[in-house]
Structure 1
C-alpha cells in the first residue's frame, strides 16, 4: 500500500471545524501577500536546485497544489494561507542596498550591498541553495565579491550553507570576515554533538521531511516551506560580537548589533542599519508565534527574556527604521507598522509568560494551564501571532518546565509505569483489546480524536502487533493533523500516522560520532564528553582504565579516567600510571569517526598510534555504543 492510498479524507467533525476556522479570522486581509511579493525581481523556475551530480536537493514544484486559494478540508485554512505565503520564492528588494532570497530553504538569505562587495546574513542550511541564491543575485546585479558573512545565531539553517558562498581559503586569507555572536561555535557544536541523534529523529516529526507534499500530507514547516538536503558545514567566526551597541563598518555599511542571548537560540543577535533605516530581527520576530521549546527538543527558552529583548528593540530602533526584516518570512514596511509588529510580538511572549505563571500559582499543571489559557482576542487574531511554528499548548508547557522542571507536583506522576507496562494495565482495566477498540471506534465516530489517539496509543504500546489499534490510532492522528493550525503539529501527527500504518521500512545503521566537518572544529573536551555518553556500562563493568590522549598537531594532552562506568577527563597526563597513551592529529581523528573507517581501522592504519596496551584501547573504543538514528517514536 502506498502512503497516499492509506490516507483518509476529512472526517465530518473535522470538516465542520475547518469551516468554523475559516469564519474566525480575517481572511480578507491581504497585506501579508502584498508584503511577501513586494520587491520581486526574479527567481529560478519552481525554485528547483540541483547538486553537482544533478540530483534535485530543493524544489517547490511539488507544492503547486498551493496555488489554489481555497483550503481543502484536510488542511486548516489559516495554515493553508501561511503555506501559500511561504510558497513565494526568488530574489526580492527590501530597500536600498538590501535584498533577500526567500523560498530556497527553510530560512532566508540576506544580501547587503557594500561600496564594493556583498555582506551576507545567514547562508542557509546547505551549500547548494546558498550558492543558487548568490548566483541569482549576481545574475541581476553582477559579480560582487563577498566581503563578510554574518551568522545571526547557532541553528544550522543559518550557517550550514556557508561554503556555498565563500571558501575557507578566502576566510583564512583575510578577504572575508565571518561575524557571529559570542559563544557561537560552542553552541553549534554542543547541540549537534551531544544530543544530535534524538534531535535529528524528532526533527523528522517537526519538519515532516519523510512526508511527500500534498493536501493530505506535507504543506509547510511554519517558518518556511521545508527542510532541504545537500552539503553543509561551518566556518568558525573571525570576529565575535560581545555586547549590544557594538558597531562595525563593513565595506561602507554601518551595522549596530543587538545581542539577544537565551531567546530563540542560546546565542543570537539582531542587526540595525542606521544608514539604511532597516532592522533585521534574525529569528526573534517572525510572522508566527515561535517555539519556547521546539518539538525536536532543545534547551527551554526564556519567554521573559525574549519579551524584554523585543521591548529593547522597540525602544532602541523601531522608531528609526522604515523596514523590519527577519531570516524567515517576509518584511514589514513603514515605521508605525514596524512598531506595531514588534510591540505585538513582545506582548505575545510576555502574555504567555505571565499568564502561565499566574495560573501555575493557582496550582494548575501544564496540561491544565494549556487548556485554560486563551490569547486576548485583539492579539490572538493578528496573523503574525498565530501558532504556525510554535503553539500555545507546548509553549505553556515549556514555560512551566523553565521554572519548575518536568514534574507537575502530583506524586502519581513521580514514578509511573513505563508506556508498555502502563498500556497493558489500561487495556486490562478497560476489559481487553476488543472492548477498547469498540469503544474507541465509537468515540472516533463522534469526533473525539484526542482521546482516541490517547487510548489507542496505550493499546499500541501494550501490543504493537495489533493492526486494528495501529490503524485507529493512525486515523485519529491524521484527523488531528488535518485540524491543527500548527505546521509542526501537523507534520508530527501525519508522520506518526504514516509510521503506524507502514512501519519504518529499511532501517539505517548507526552513523558516525559527528560529521567530519564538525570534528575539525570540535574542542577536545567536547569530543571526550561525547565519548563518555557512548560508554555501555555492561561492557566496562568492574573495569578501570586510565588513558593519556595527545593531540600532536595541537600540543594538547588530556588524561581520561574510566571508573564505575563513568568516563571523566582533564588536561594533563597520568604519567607512569597511564594504561596507554593515545596519539593522533585532527586529520587522524576525522578519519577515525568516519563510518567507513572506525577506531580499530584508524589504529591499524596508523592514524591513531597507541603506546603500550593497544588491545585495551581498541577494546574500549570499539565498545562504545552505536546509535540507530531511526528509533521508534509512536510505538515501543
Structure 2
C-alpha cells in the first residue's frame, strides 16, 4: 500500500534558463509514480522457455528473440544498434552457440533492424535476412526524403538529447539507443507478400503479413511450439495508433484484423517485440482485450464523426469501458486515446474538420495581430503570457507565446516564459512520448543547444540503400528560388550500369533514366556518389580528384549541386 506521505512528496530540481537564472522545477513524484513503476517492465533479462525460445528484454528499446534450431539459430528482430546486438548475443550464445541461420525483421523500424549487421557478419556463411516485400521501401523512406523531420521529431519523442536522468523510460522500452553507437542495417535477402511458410534449421516457421503499427508488419508463428511473435502489433501499453513523431497513417481496421488472425491460431506463448513475454491462458485473454480496446476507440470515433462532432470534441469524449481499461495492456504509456481519435478522424476525412472557420483561417501572423488588437497592445499580450505562467495556466501560456513569437515581440523574454511552460507540462506528463517531446522542446530553447544527428551516416549503411533514394532526396531538396528561369539537364552514368538524369525546369527537378541531350555528363560509382551526398566524403574533393568525373565541367557541376542546398 502506498505511504500517505507520498502524496505531498516534491522533488526540487534546479534548472538553468536561457538568461542563466536558476528556476525551481517542482515535480510531484506521485504523478509520475506509475510511470516509474512501468520501468520495471524493462529490467534486463533473457526469458527462456523449454521449447527453445528465448527473448532478451531491456537491452534496448526493442526485444530480440532467438529460436533454437537443429543446426542453427534464428534471430527475430535485431536491436537498434550493433553494440546492443552484441550485448544481447553475448547472452544468447551461452544458451546455444550454433551459427545464425536467419534474421527476421518483423517490420522496418530501426530498433528492429539496425543491429542486424552484427549477426550477419558473425560467420563467413551469411544468414538469410527475411522481411515483408515492402520493408526496404519503408526503411529508405525514413532514411530518405523525410529523414530531417522524422529524425528531429523522433529525437524529441524518445528524448535522445536529454540527460539520461530526465528519461524515465520511453513507454515500450528503457531508452532509444540508435544514436549512441554504430548502426548496421542489412537489406532483406528473402521477401514475401501475404505469407511465407519455410523450414529453417529444422524449425517450421510461418510468416504472415499483418498490417498494424506499420504497413509492412509481419508476425511469426511457430505451429509446433504454438508460439506467436507479434512484432509491434501488441505490447504492454495502449497502442500507438498515431505516433507524434509522424508516420504514414495507421489503418486501425487492418490492425484489428491482424490481431484477429493471431487469435485464430490460439497461441500459448506470446513473445512481443516490446515488453515482457506471456504464456498460458493470459495470451488469448490479452489479445482479445487489446483488439477490443482498438475497436472501441475506432467505432466510437466513427459514431461521433457521423453525428457531426469534430476530432477535438471526440478526443475529449471517448474513454475505454471499465472492463477494458483495467487491463495493464491498455494503460497510456505509449499511445493515447486522444491522439488516436484525431488520427482516425484524419484517416477517414482528411485534415478539414468540416467547420468553415477552419477551411481558410487567418494566417498565424494575422491572428496574432488581431489578438493584440483585442488585448490592447503587444505589451498587454506579453503581460497576459506572464500572468498565465504565474497562474500555472501553461497550455494557454504556450498558445499566447506562439502569437508573440510570430510578432517577434520580446523574443528572448517570451522564449524564457515559453520554456518554463513547456518544462512544467513535460515534468508532469505521465505519457513518456509527451513527456520526452516537451522536455526536449524545452531543451532546444537553451542558447547553447546544438542538435545531434539521430542517424549518423556510414559507408556500410549507405551501401545497403538504393541509389534511387538519393535522387528522391535531391528532388525534394531543390531550392526552387535559385532555379528561376533555369533549364539544365545533368546525366549520371554509374558503375552499376544504372543511368539517372536530373532535369531542372519550372522550379522542379525531374528524375528519369534518359541519357540524352545532357548539359553535363557524370561518371562515377554509386557508392562514391552516395557518400558525397551524405557528407561521408567531401563532394568538392571527390570532383577535384576525378572520383566524380564531370567531363571537364567541375565548376558547372558544383554550381548545379548548390541548387539543392538552402
TM-score w.r.t. the length of structure 2 is: 0.90
Q: What is the distance in 1 between the residues matched to 2:67 and 2:453? A: 43
Q: What is the distance in 1 between the residues matched to 2:232 and 2:305? A: 28
Q: How far apart are residue 568 of structure 1 and its match? A: 0.9
Q: How far apart are residue 95 of structure 1 and its match? A: 4.5
Q: How far apart are residue 583 of structure 1 and its match? A: 1.2
Q: What is the distance in 1 between the residues matched to 2:436 and 2:274? A: 19
1:64 aligns with: none
**SS of alignment partner, residue 583 of structure 1:** strand
Q: What is the distance in 2 between the residues matched to 1:111 and 1:289? A: 26
1:104 aligns with: 59
**SS of alignment partner, residue 214 of structure 2:** coil
* Residue number among 308, 314, 318 corresponding to 1:363 in the alignment: 308
Instruction: Answer whether contact 2:116 2:186 (CA < 8 A) is retained.
Output: yes
2:463 aligns with: 520
Counterparts in 2 of 1:271 and 1:112: CA distance versus 1, 3 Å: same
Q: Any residues of structure 2 matched to 1:160-175 within 5 Å, and which?
A: 160-167=114-121, 170=124, 173=125, 175=126
2:5 aligns with: none
1:22 aligns with: none
Instruction: Answer whether contact 1:148 1:178 (CA < 8 A) is retained.
Output: yes
- 2:277 is aligned with 1:331: yes
* Residue number among 301, 316, 326 corresponding to 2:250 in the alignment: 301
Counterparts in 2 of 1:509 and 1:521: CA distance versus 1, 3 Å: closer
Counterparts in 2 of 1:123 and 1:583: CA distance versus 1, 3 Å: same
2:286 aligns with: 341
2:111 aligns with: 157
* Residue number among 171, 178, 181 corresponding to 1:230 in the alignment: 181
* Residue number among 354, 357, 380 corresponding to 1:435 in the alignment: 380
Q: Any residues of structure 2 matched to 1:230-629 within 5 Å, and which?
A: 230-244=181-195, 246-261=196-211, 263-315=212-264, 317=265, 319=266, 321-334=267-280, 336-419=281-364, 422-440=367-385, 442-444=387-389, 447-463=392-408, 465-500=410-445, 502-503=446-447, 505-506=449-450, 515-552=458-495, 554-574=496-516, 577-595=517-535, 597-611=537-551, 613-625=553-565
**SS of alignment partner, residue 111 of structure 2:** helix
- Cα distance per residue 1:163-188 (max 9 Å; x no partner): 22221974xx4x41111111211111
Task: Please give the root-mean-square deviation of Cα atoms over the aligned residues, in Å.
Answer: 2.5
- Cα distance per residue 1:512-538 (max 9 Å; x no partner): 9x6544432333333211111111112
Q: What is the distance in 2 between the residues matched to 1:596 and 1:523? A: 16
Q: How far apart are residue 417 of structure 1 and its match? A: 4.3
Counterparts in 2 of 1:511 and 1:133: CA distance versus 1, 3 Å: closer
Q: What is the distance in 2 between the residues matched to 1:535 and 1:510? A: 23
Q: How far apart are residue 559 of structure 1 and its match? A: 3.0
Q: What is the distance in 1 between the residues matched to 2:139 and 2:366? A: 38
- 2:134 is aligned with 1:183: yes
Counterparts in 2 of 1:285 and 1:119: CA distance versus 1, 3 Å: same
Q: What is the distance in 2 between the residues matched to 1:444 and 1:386? A: 30
Counterparts in 2 of 1:442 and 1:94: CA distance versus 1, 3 Å: farther
- Identify which range, 225-234 or 159-168, moves more after superposition: 159-168
- Cα distance per residue 1:205-227 (max 9 Å; x no partner): 1111122233xx32111111111
Counterparts in 2 of 1:461 and 1:211: CA distance versus 1, 3 Å: farther
1:135 aligns with: 90
2:102 aligns with: 148
Q: What is the distance in 1 between the residues matched to 2:375 and 2:153? A: 31
Q: What is the distance in 2 between the residues matched to 1:507 and 1:120? A: 34
Q: What is the distance in 1 between the residues matched to 2:299 and 2:507? A: 43
Q: Any residues of structure 2 matched to 1:81-92 within 5 Å, and which?
A: 81-86=37-42, 88-92=43-47
Q: How far apart are residue 271 of structure 1 and its match? A: 0.6
1:78 aligns with: 34
Which runs of 5 or more structure 1 residues have no equivalent in the other structure? 16-71, 627-636
**SS of alignment partner, residue 363 of structure 1:** coil
Q: What is the distance in 2 between the residues matched to 1:589 and 1:597? A: 9
Q: What is the distance in 1 between the residues matched to 2:363 and 2:377? A: 19
Instruction: Answer whether contact 1:3 1:498 (CA < 8 A) is retained.
Output: no
Q: How far apart are residue 421 of structure 1 and its match? A: 5.2
Q: How far apart are residue 272 of structure 1 and its match? A: 0.8
Q: What is the distance in 2 between the residues matched to 1:510 and 1:351? A: 36
Q: How far apart are residue 596 of structure 1 and its match? A: 5.4
- Cα distance per residue 1:395-420 (max 9 Å; x no partner): 11111111122222333323334445
Q: How far apart are residue 503 of structure 1 and its match? A: 3.7
1:8 aligns with: 25
- Cα distance per residue 1:558-605 (max 9 Å; x no partner): 33211111111222322xx22121111123223322425333321111
Q: What is the distance in 2 between the residues matched to 1:511 and 1:618? A: 26
Counterparts in 2 of 1:212 and 1:240: CA distance versus 1, 3 Å: same
- Identify which range, 468-477 or 338-347, moves more after superposition: 468-477
Q: What is the distance in 1 between the residues matched to 2:472 and 2:381? A: 46
Q: What is the distance in 2 between the residues matched to 1:226 and 1:506? A: 21
Q: How far apart are residue 487 of structure 1 and its match? A: 0.7
Instruction: Answer whether contact 1:437 1:469 (CA < 8 A) is retained.
Output: yes
Q: Any residues of structure 2 matched to 1:36-51 within 5 Å, and which?
A: none
- Cα distance per residue 1:264-311 (max 9 Å; x no partner): 112110011112221111110111112223111111110111111111
Q: What is the distance in 2 between the residues matched to 1:247 and 1:324? A: 19
Q: What is the distance in 2 between the residues matched to 1:117 and 1:269? A: 22
Q: What is the distance in 2 between the residues matched to 1:455 and 1:243? A: 50
Instruction: Answer whether contact 2:144 2:472 (CA < 8 A) is retained.
Output: no
Instruction: Answer whether contact 2:443 2:449 (CA < 8 A) is retained.
Output: no
Q: How far apart are residue 251 of structure 1 and its match? A: 0.7
Counterparts in 2 of 1:415 and 1:134: CA distance versus 1, 3 Å: same
Paired residue total: 547
**SS of alignment partner, residue 393 of structure 1:** helix
- Cα distance per residue 1:110-160 (max 9 Å; x no partner): 11111122210111110001011101222x325322111111100110010
**SS of alignment partner, residue 374 of structure 2:** helix
Which runs of 5 or more structure 2 residues have no equivalent in the other structure? 1-13
